[in-house]
């Protein structure tokens, strides 16, 4: 028999610290698989967030910088400007990217930084113990929304991928999920596309990945993936919001109008 599935080469041997059934681990692996598939392990510089993914440098065997909370896109910008020929990507949680670091992600995207930002949306602050996140859905309970997120008090979840996809610097923007194998495989494809956009030097790429937090949601891992499908997917619609071809069409259309 032939081995068809094993630990990606660019992953270290270290067991991951995530809680049982937290799909963060799946995302870590997918990124490593893409790094392997593209043969870019020696050319990659990863930027880590503050949040549950803070230890991701322990799991990828690539050059790595640990950013402060929310600033990974700014750190990635500094790295990419020094090493324009390297692959630079960041991994961030929803608090990191959609609350404290909103400024950094929007402007990195608007500048069309040739970096890839991967955004793990688990609709909660995992690392600090389950407080409301900017992506906590209306009605969802957290330790700071004990009666469920109240839209009058705390407003509505932030739809980052929709927001960012309207910026001209963004070449690829997609939202995927990892709540079942079919979606995991789609998620990998999106991550790969995002890296390819960077490798072709086209501009900014973003993949938002819906992920579970069984511990802070207070659910078993299996209930958590079901909860994600039922409560997050309808609000955070999956799909590609911007693809490189679209950008080309746009440019053609503008050129025609101008001509």
Ligand X SMILES: Cc1ncc(C[n+]2csc(CCOP(=O)(O)OP(=O)(O)O)c2C)c(N)n1
Q: Give residues in contact with ligand X (CB under 6 A).
A: 50-53, 69, 93-96, 120, 122, 124-128, 133
Q: Which of 31, 34, 79, 98 binds other proteins (CB under 8 A)?
A: 79
Q: Is residue 192 part of the contact set for other proteins (CB under 8 A)?
A: no
The dihedrals phi and psi of 88, each to the nearest 5 degrees, come to -120, 125
Instruction: Decide which of other proteins, ligand X, none touches 38; Cβ closer than 5 to 8 Å per partner kind.
Output: none
The dihedrals phi and psi of 181, each to the nearest 5 degrees, come to -55, -40
* Buried-state track 165-204, b at ≥16 Cβ within 10 A, e below 16: bebebbbbbbbbbbbeeebbebbbebbbbbbbbbeeebbb
Instruction: Decide which of other proteins, ligand X, none touches 115; Cβ closer than 5 to 8 Å per partner kind.
Output: none
d(CA 162, CA 143): 27
Q: Which of 34, 54, 117, 206 binds other proteins (CB under 8 A)?
A: 54
Q: Is residue 218 part of the contact set for other proteins (CB under 8 A)?
A: no
Q: At what angle do helices 24-38 and 181-199 cross, to 10 degrees?
A: 40
Instruction: Decide which of ligand X, other proteins, none touches 207; Cβ closer than 5 to 8 Å per partner kind.
Output: none
- Rounded to the nearest angstrom, the gap between the alpha carbon of residue 89 and the centroid of all alpha carbons in its chain is 10
Instruction: Decide which of other proteins, ligand X, none touches 158; Cβ closer than 5 to 8 Å per partner kind.
Output: none
Binding site for other proteins (CB under 8 A): 1-8, 11, 15-16, 18-26, 29, 41-45, 47, 54-55, 57, 61-68, 71, 74-83, 86, 103-104, 106-107, 180-181, 184-185, 214, 220-222, 225
């Amino acid at each position: 028999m032939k081995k068809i599935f094993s630990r990606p080469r660019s992953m270290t041997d270290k067991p991951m610290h995530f809680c049982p059934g937290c799909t963060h681990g799946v995302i870590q692996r997918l990124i490593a698989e893409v790094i392997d598939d593209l043969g870019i392990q020696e050319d990659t510089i990863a930027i880590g967030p503050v949040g549950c993914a803070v230890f991701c440098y322990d799991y990828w065997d690539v050059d790595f910088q640990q950013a402060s909370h929310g600033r990974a896109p700014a750190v990635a910008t500094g790295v990419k400007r020094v090493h324009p020929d390297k692959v630079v990507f960041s991994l961030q949680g929803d608090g990191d990217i959609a609350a404290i670091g909103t400024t950094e992600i929007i402007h990195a995207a608007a500048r069309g930084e040739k970096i890839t930002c991967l955004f793990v949306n688990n609709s909660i602050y995992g690392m600090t113990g389950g407080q409301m996140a900017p992506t906590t859905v209306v009605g969802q309970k957290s330790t700071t929304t004990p009666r469920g997120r109240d839209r009058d008090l705390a407003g509505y979840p932030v739809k980052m991928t929709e927001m960012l996809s309207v910026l001209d610097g963004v070449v690829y923007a997609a939202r995927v999920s990892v709540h079942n194998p079919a979606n995991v495989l789609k998620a990998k494809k999106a991550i790969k596309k995002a890296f390819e956009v960077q490798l072709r030097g086209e501009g900014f790429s973003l993949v938002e990945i819906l992920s579970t937090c069984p511990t802070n949601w207070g659910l078993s891992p299996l209930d958590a993936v079901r909860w994600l499908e039922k409560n997050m997917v309808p609000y955070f619609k999956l799909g590609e919001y911007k693809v490189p071809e679209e950008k080309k069409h746009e440019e053609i259309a503008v050129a025609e109008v101008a001509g």
